[in-house]
Homo-oligomer: A and B are copies of this chain.
Amino acid sequence: MRCVKCPDKAVIELRRHHSPFCKPHFIEYFENQVERAVRRQGMLSPDDRIMVAVSGGKDSLTLWYVLNRMGYNTTGLHIHLGIGEYSDASYDATLAFAKQHDLEVTTVDLSKTYGMNVPDLSKALRRVACSGCGLSKRYIMNKEAHERGFDVVATGHNLDDEAATLMGNVLHWQMGYLARQAPVLEATTEKLVKKVKPLYTVTERETAAYALLHGIDYVEEECPNAFGAKSLLYKDALNRIELESPGAKHQFLLQFFENARPRLEVGADEHELRDCAICGQATTTEVCAFCRMWQQAKRRVEQKEERRQLREAEAAAPTT
């Protein structure tokens, strides 16, 4: 199979574009997609200080690589979540990448900074790990970017991630989430940093291919908590549709942004923002969701410790 743009042999075929590409033309295609998304959606300015959220996986490292190659001023932010070997490998991959490309990286260790890692937090809350993890990551990303004076936070969400999120929001008709799902979230207040998703028009497979062709050494294993997650179920359902209708995922997401979201935004609940009574970050409630969650987790750990001490004291007391 020949490249659609030159007589060279194709290394990848993109069915949704009816196009086989050789290595240089695939790289050109991929970078054009990202550039176009950034330009059309007004994501980044040349003098923006950009904080790239880097997990160490293919999406975030590719994003960092591409933005750096495009000449943007980037700093990585890696949050060490403490999810066993997976997190250690993610940390190592991130630091190795930063060193190799001479890029700056800031790290936050969840356990050291906030007192618990993701598994402990999940255990204390008796909730699936993903909910506490997601909330913590979003909070920390914004807090670090704001406190360190960054103009924008960029995340590596790709087309498959965004389409799966949209599918979940649509299956439950989560009107609030639907009104807010977007490739760009502007800073509505000084404390909420602008968020952008420059990879939202490229697929997971395309991102993996780009990473591979550039020798980006990313962590291949999925987070162990993702197993059985609904997002994987939705990705799978969408992939079946995509298989018979190439381009379906892209159309689903893009048509949503163009046609549906503008209508769903109308009348969506507008909340007034104020400062969290504990941490001072922007929130719609007195105490922000992050502080409430961590307070609850810490209280539960303390209660457990108190019960343990009580049991020990009772066991040590002389029986009468």
**Does A237 interact with chain B (Cβ within 8 Å)?**
yes
**Does A230 interact with chain B (Cβ within 8 Å)?**
yes
A234 touches B241 (CB 8 A): yes
Number of A interface residues at 8 Å Cβ cutoff, please give it: 27
- Could you give 26 example pairs across A and B, Cβ below 8 Å? A170-B170, A170-B252, A171-B241, A171-B248, A171-B251, A172-B251, A172-B255, A173-B252, A173-B255, A173-B256, A173-B258, A173-B259, A173-B260, A175-B260, A175-B263, A233-B241, A233-B244, A237-B238, A237-B240, A237-B241, A260-B264, A263-B263, A263-B264, A263-B266, A264-B264, A266-B266
**Does A224 interact with chain B (Cβ within 8 Å)?**
no
**Does A267 interact with chain B (Cβ within 8 Å)?**
yes
Q: How far is the CB of A15 from chain B (nearest CB, A)?
A: 16
Which residue of the partner chain B has the closest CB to A255?
Answer: B173
Residues of A197-234 contacting chain B, CB below 8 A: 230, 233-234
Complex CA distance for A260 and B260, rounded to whole angstroms: 11
Q: Looking at A237, A245, A252, which has the most chain B CB atoms within 10 Å of its CB?
A: A237
Chain A 257-271 per-residue mask, 1 if CB under 8 angstroms from chain B, else 0: 011100110110000
Q: How far is the CB of A241 from chain B (nearest CB, A)?
A: 5
Complex CA distance for A255 and B256, rounded to whole angstroms: 18
A259 touches B175 (CB 8 A): yes
This chain's copy number in the assembly: 2
Complex CA distance for A181 and B251, rounded to whole angstroms: 21
Complex CA distance for A211 and B241, rounded to whole angstroms: 31
B252 touches A171 (CB 8 A): yes
Which residues of chain B come closer than 8 Å to A28, judged between CB atoms?
Answer: none
Q: Looking at A173, A238, A251, which has the most chain B CB atoms within 10 Å of its CB?
A: A173
Which residues of chain B come closer than 8 Å to A259, judged between CB atoms?
Answer: 173, 175
**Does A236 interact with chain B (Cβ within 8 Å)?**
yes
Complex CA distance for A264 and B238, rounded to whole angstroms: 23
Complex CA distance for A236 and B241, rounded to whole angstroms: 9
A236 touches B240 (CB 8 A): yes
A263 touches B267 (CB 8 A): yes
Which residues of chain B come closer than 8 Å to A258, judged between CB atoms?
Answer: 173
Residues of A126-178 contacting chain B, CB below 8 A: 170-173, 175
Q: How far is the CB of A159 from chain B (nearest CB, A)?
A: 14
Residues of A95-110 contacting chain B, CB below 8 A: none
Q: How far is the CB of A33 from chain B (nearest CB, A)?
A: 21
Please provide the 3 A-B residue pairs with the shortest distance between their CB atoms, ordered closest to farther. A173-B255, A237-B237, A173-B259
Q: How far is the CB of A162 from chain B (nearest CB, A)?
A: 14
